[in-house]
Each structure stands twice: as structure tokens, then as C-alpha cells.
Amino acid sequence: MKFIDLGLDERILEGIDAMGYENATPVQEQVMVPVLEGRDIIAAAQTGTGKTAAFVLPIIQKILRHASNSASPARHPIRALVLTPTRELAVQVAENAASYSKHTDLRAAVVYGGVDMKEQVSILRNGVEILIATPGRLLDHIGSKVANLSQVEILVLDEADRMLDMGFLPDLQRIINLIPAQRQTLLFSATFSPEIKKLAQSYLRTPVTVEVARQNAAADTV
């Protein structure tokens, strides 16, 4: 399927064209259609399949109606939250979000631990619609009253299995409890372990299941 056939806004297609892409990968096609329909997703996707774009692109499409060129931070509340286990993955997702939304008025930002908080605080106070974060640092900003999740419409748990392995479950639960119950939730994991299935049962509503790779396998190109 071509991206142009998915009904994406012209400004998003412009960002995709700039990246040199034309056709959706299998995971992108299987994930994007139900996400654009408002469905929750639990997906098992291997590294190198293009899963980041699979959720970033429909997120941009769905919250584009909120885009504003106003300088007021109040016009730029967090609408989509992507949680990742590591700084490296957070940065990767943020780079994708910035590239695909560059022709819109949506703002994307990333926060992670191990660095000074001041620059992140400044960015959050100016307002951002798409926030990519590691759980611990996000809780730091929530505790400092800098990050407000009360208007989040879409939550993504990326590499959820790694987050559980790293002991982030209590942090995830604290964060999810601060997000409106009427939201769309997308969960990505390398495997559908019993723990992941339990997490999905707790926080997803009749999700669409997508599995595009054998378990614990990396793409041939990696």
C-alpha cells in the first residue's frame, strides 16, 4: 500500500516524501489503518520493520486538528505520549516525529534522564503536542508540575517488554493513571509474553492484534 492511499494529510505526505518513502511496510499498513480508525493496538514487530513510523504517522494525522501557530503554551498541551525504555530509542522516535511533522504546526519534544532538566523544562513550558519520554524522567517533570497529561488522547508503549524487564511497571502504572481513561493506547513489544498480555488486558480496550515477525527475531537488514 502506498502512503498516499492511507488518507494522510498533504503536509504529512510532504514529510514522508522528504524522507524518500512511498510504500508502507507490512507493519505500517497493518498498524496504521486500525490506529487511524481509533482502535487500540497490541503489536509484535521486529527491529527494522518500520514500526516507529507505523505509530508516529497516524498520531500526527489524528492530532493535526489541534495544530496551532499560536505562541501561547496553553494552545499546545500534550496530546500524544510515547513512552520508551531507553534514551536512544526516545531520541530515535523523536527524530521521526520531528521529520514527519515538520510541515505542520505541531510540536514534538523528547525528555530522558542522565542530562540536566533545565532545557527540557523550558521546552515543556513552551508547550508540546507530541512528547516522547522515558518513564523516570517524565515522572520527574510531572512532580515538578511541568508536564501535564490531562489532555493526552493517544498513549504509546514502545518496546513494552523491555520496559517491564527494566522494572518500569510501577512507573508505567503511575503515569497511565494520570492519563484520561478515554484514550487510544498502542502497545508494541518484541513478544507477546504473559506479562505483556496482562499489561494489555489492564490498559487496552478490545485491541487489534498485529504480529508481523517470528518471536525474538531481528530483520535481515539489521
Query: Tens-of-pLDDT digits for all 222 residues of the chain?
Result: 899 999 999 999 999 999 989 999 989 999 999 999 999 999 998 767 889 999 999 999 999 999 999 999 999 999 999 999 999 999 999 999 999 999 999 999 999 999 999 999 999 999 999 999 999 999 999 999 999 999 999 999 999 999 999 999 999 999 999 999 999 999 999 889 999 999 999 999 999 999 875 444 555 555
- pLDDT of 215: 45
What sign results for the dihedral spanned by CA atoms 42, 46, 50, 53? positive
Whole-Å CA distances, 78 to 95, 102, 125, 152, 183: 17, 17, 11, 6, 13
* C-alpha–C-alpha distance, residues 123 and 212, integer Å: 36
- pLDDT of 45: 80
- pLDDT of 17: 93
- pLDDT of 118: 94
Provide the percentage of residues in the chain whose pLDDT is more than 90.
Answer: 87
- pLDDT of 221: 57
Residue 90 has which C-alpha cell?
A: 526516545
Residue 13 has which C-alpha cell?
A: 505526505
- pLDDT of 140: 96
